Structures are given as structure tokens and as C-alpha cells.
Structure 1
Amino acid sequence: MSVARTIREKLTAAFDPVALEVEDQSERHRGHAGWREGGETHFHVRIRARAFAGRGRVEAQRMVHKALAEELAGPIHALSLDLGGPDRP
């Protein structure tokens, strides 16, 4: 299974998001630390879920990092996050 698909499935299971976008940005980092042939090393995730409503940025990031702990210890080199409650654009 692809890393992007695993990210989608784990975040969906953990947060039941109203919006979820997972973008593989690995090619933008070709030649940089952590980059591997075939990509799936650098990701940007945009997620909107009730679980993040009223939570601070750091707390919400920790929640996502916990859900993706296995991937962050392995195939994911970099993960940028855009998190918010369901009413955030």
C-alpha cells in the first residue's frame, strides 16, 4: 500500500474528517535529505475535523503525529500540516 493511502486511511479512522487532502511533495525535494527514488517521503496534509476544533496548533499537530507515529518513524521524512476545525476554510 502507498504511504499516501496509509496516511489517508489512518487520519480518516482517527479523526473522521470533513475534508482531507494528502499531497506527496517528494519530487520538490529531490536531492535533499530524506528524499528517495520513487518519492513518498515528503507530504503536505490539509485536514478539517471536529477533533481539532478549539485546540491549539501544537496540540492538534501532536494528535496527528500520534496517529502517524509508525510512518513518521519510517517512510515519512517530512510532514507539513494545515489543521483546523470543520468551520475553518
Structure 2
Amino acid sequence: MNMQLQIQQKIEQALNPEYLAVINESHMHNVPAGAESHFKVTVVSEQFNGKRLVARHQLMNQILAEELAGKIHALALHTLTPDEYMAKAGKVAESPLCMGGGK
């Protein structure tokens, strides 16, 4: 199973999100073609209600502990409640350009 699908399935099972986008951004970095090392994850879940940003990220790190201990070099997390997502009209920040010799 590819890493993108593995990440998606783990988050779906753990959080039952209202919205989930897992984007492989490895191609934006100085890594071999086909690499699965840099991901952007946007997840909208009721389970984030009442949690501060750090607690949300800690939860995501627990869910993806196996993946983070392996091939993943960078994981950009956008963890939102449904109300926060609606207030942002479904928009999250763009990922910055690679600073380490990106393409």
C-alpha cells in the first residue's frame, strides 16, 4: 500500500473526519522521483472540538506514529473543527517552497 493511502486510511479509522485531504508534496522537494516523504494533511473532525492546536497535532502524531518513525520526512498538518473549516471557507495555507534545494 502506498504511504498516501496508508495515512488516509489510518486517519479515517481514528477520527471519522468530515473532510480529509492527504497530498503527497514530495515532488516539490529535492527527493527521488516517486518519493513518499513529504505530505500535507487537512483534516476536519468533531474530535478536535475543545482541543488546542498542540493537542490536535499530538493526536495526529499518535495516529501516524508508525509512519512518522519511517519514511515520512515532513508532515504539514491542518487540523480543524467543522466550525473552523466553515469560517475559513474550506481554505488552508499553501505549503511553502522547499528551502533545501527544492525543484
TM-score, normalised on structure 2?
0.79
Per-residue CA deviation, residues 43-81 of structure 1 (Å, 9 max, x unaligned), is: 000000011112101000000000000000001110000
Per-residue CA deviation, residues 16-53 of structure 1 (Å, 9 max, x unaligned), is: 000000010001112xxxx3441210000000001111
* Residue 47 (structure 2) pairs with residue 51 (structure 1): yes
Aligned amino acid, residue 39 of structure 1 = A
Q: Which runs of 5+ in 2 are unaligned?
A: 86-103
SS of the residue corresponding to residue 11 of structure 2 reads helix
Aligned amino acid, residue 9 of structure 2 = E
SS of the residue corresponding to residue 40 of structure 2 reads strand
Q: Which runs of 5+ in 1 are unaligned?
A: none
Aligned amino acid, residue 73 of structure 2 = H
SS of the residue corresponding to residue 55 of structure 1 reads coil
Aligned amino acid, residue 58 of structure 1 = V
Rg larger for: 2
TM-score, normalised on structure 1?
0.90
Runs in 1 of length 4+ with deviation above 6 angstroms?
none
After superposition, residues 1-89 of structure 1 pair within 5 angstroms as 1-30=1-30, 35-89=31-85
SS of the residue corresponding to residue 22 of structure 1 reads strand
Among the aligned pairs, what percent are the same residue?
36
Total equivalences in the alignment = 85
